[in-house]
Structure 1
Amino acid sequence: VYIETMVKGRRVFLEFYSNPNDFSFADLPDEARVYLERSGALQATPIERLL
């Protein structure tokens, strides 16, 4: 996102309503998965995890 916006001067749009097709919490590195578990951020969609 930084390169696209700051270096290339482009606008970037992020989609928070669905996960990538191949997304799985089990595939995350242990540190990331444990962090999300401890913070209670294991909701189904990115937008739910942000709220």
Structure 2
Amino acid sequence: MNNIKPSKIIEEISNIKTGEKYINDKEWKNKGISPDDIRKDVTVIMPSLDLLGKTK
């Protein structure tokens, strides 16, 4: 079975209450922000698939 790997994974971390964006988990943890106030959005971009089979 072929495994298809994502082309790109984009993770955006932000504060629900203030809208402030963070680069990584370490940044908001160092500021003492509660995990309940953190929102993580993950976008996975997959390569396009060839849906038409090749004929001989």
Q: Shared fold by TM > 0.5?
A: no
TM-score, L = length of structure 2? 0.24
Structure 1 or 2, whichever has the larger Rg, is 2
TM-score, L = length of structure 1? 0.25
Name which structure has the greater RCO, CA cutoff 8 Å, separation 6+. 2
Higher strand share: 2
